[in-house]
Amino acid sequence: MKQGDRNDYPDLDPNVQVPFVRLVLEECSKGRELDETQRRAAVSAALDMVERIRQEVRKVGFWKNQSMRELLTRTLVRDLDKAGICPAGTERDLAQRLVALAKESHENLMR
């Protein structure tokens, strides 16, 4: 799988960026096929969100502070909505999944 990540996403960090890109692409393509322009937009939006997530999770006490986590989730919902890459109404669920992935990937995000 890691080798596939290097082939599919040669310029991305397989431990930090690729899991988020995969999740965004998977969720945004449910029930439809993304064309190349939509796929590039989804990858770009995912990379922007990874950087936003990195900034937030580095804050002291982030994971213990529910309001900080909720603020990040709402911000990601706005980012997804603004990017227009996902089917309408799925942004909140995807944002919550991105925050959960961030928690699982905390050590990698801190590098």
pLDDT tens-digit map of 81-109: 999 999 989 999 999 999 999 999 999 99
Give pTM, 2 decimals.
0.91
Given this model, what pLDDT does residue 5 score? Answer: 53
Residue 4 reports pLDDT greater than 60: no
Instruction: Give the domain range for residue 19.
Output: 2-109
Question: What angle is formed at CA 73 by the lines to CA 70 and CA 74, rounded to 5 degrees?
Answer: 90
d(CA 96, CA 104): 13
What total of structural domains would you count in the chain?
Answer: 1
Q: Report yes or no: 95 and 80 within 8 Å, Cβ to Cβ.
A: yes
Interval 34-65: pLDDT, tens: 999 999 999 999 999 999 999 999 999 999 99
12-44 b/e (C-beta count within 10 Å ≥ 16 → b): bebebbbbbbebbbebbbeeeeeeeebeebbbe
Residue 2 reports pLDDT greater than 80: no
Is the sign of the CA dihedral 12, 50, 63, 60 positive or negative? Answer: positive
Residue 1 reports pLDDT greater than 50: no
